[in-house]
Amino acid sequence: MSVYFLTGCAGFIASNVAEMLLEAGHSVYGIDDRNNAYSVLLKDWRLKQLSRFENFHFQEVDITDRIALENFFQEALTRECLAHFDACIHLAARAGVRYSVENPWIYLDTNVTGTLNLLELCRHSGTQKFVAASSSSVYGNSSAEIFHEDQRTDFPCSPYAASKKAAEALIFSYHHLYGIDVSVLRFFTVYGPAGRPDMSILRFIHAIAEEKPITLYGDGTQERDFTYCRDIASGVLASLRPVGYETFNLGGDHTYSVNQLIEIVANILGKKPLIKQYPPHRADVARTHADISNAREKLGWKPCWDFRAGIAETIRWYLENRDWFSAEMKD
């Protein structure tokens, strides 16, 4: 079995990835700084689910703290009697398009400097596989009908998107200089149980379930390629194979408007949504839609979850955990 170094393991996507790796019998050394960008209680809930696996090892570490990061990295290798990890799966990030407009510095520190710190550890240890989370946000307000990895990404609409673009460029330089095998994964709007409370789906579920107004930016016709968390996690695992240097879109292969999302949530809950509409946010993009042919052909990956079924599963999780989770939501 393999031994992996995983960043951001208390996060939404990484916790799903960790669980799938651990279920397969692999060992995972996970780090997370448990910052307060959103509910720490939710992050601790995810970590608690992982703690049942004896081959999961967690340390609270900020990837911008180079010394603490290096210490845990080396301690883990020593414990396993290894010179290097089978792969470094780098999913830690400061996420969120809108807040990056208010505090761009922390996005640059975490998403770029933190990535550099990990690349240096991989280079010096001989860890030859690096999987990195990027974002569909790098495509900006593209007019393309469907987003392909080869199209230009020179016009990010937020500091968050710009930081992800910068990290991609930095990662490529380490592939070029040191031969590190790299899979860059551009995630499209991810949802599911225990998801981020600042994302639209759980905000809408919370508002409709508790009969509170939904805050809607724009007219609701903006479209997103929503992707269920377990589909994303299976794509991360598929990307662990050697590819040289490749960028992969991981998306749901279908778009839904925000209005359609609200309607589906309302129908499943059997309640009428209350909507407070505001002008579009300047950092938002009008549409995302992933061309996933590269991941399908080279990784053998495709999404399996039906959107309505994924929403129903997310609602089920919310209702089971509403006593504590609803208190963590910001109206």
pLDDT digits (tens, 9 = 90+) for 49-66: 999 999 999 999 999 999
State yes or no: is 29 an active-site residue: no
pLDDT tens, residue by residue, 133-169: 999 999 988 878 899 999 999 999 999 999 999 999 9
Task: Determine which one of 160, 174, 191, 318 is catalytic.
Answer: 160
Three-class secondary structure assignment of 168-233:
HHHHHHHHHHHCCEEEEEEECCEECCCCCCCCHHHHHHHHHHCCCEEEEECCCCCEECCEEHHHHH
Is residue 48 pLDDT above 70, yes or no? yes
Domains contained in the chain, CATH given: 3-328 (3.40.50.720)
CB atoms within 10 A of CB 279: 8
Question: pTM (2 decimals)?
Answer: 0.95
Comparing CA positions, the residue from 37, 4, 23 lying closest to residue 199 is: 37
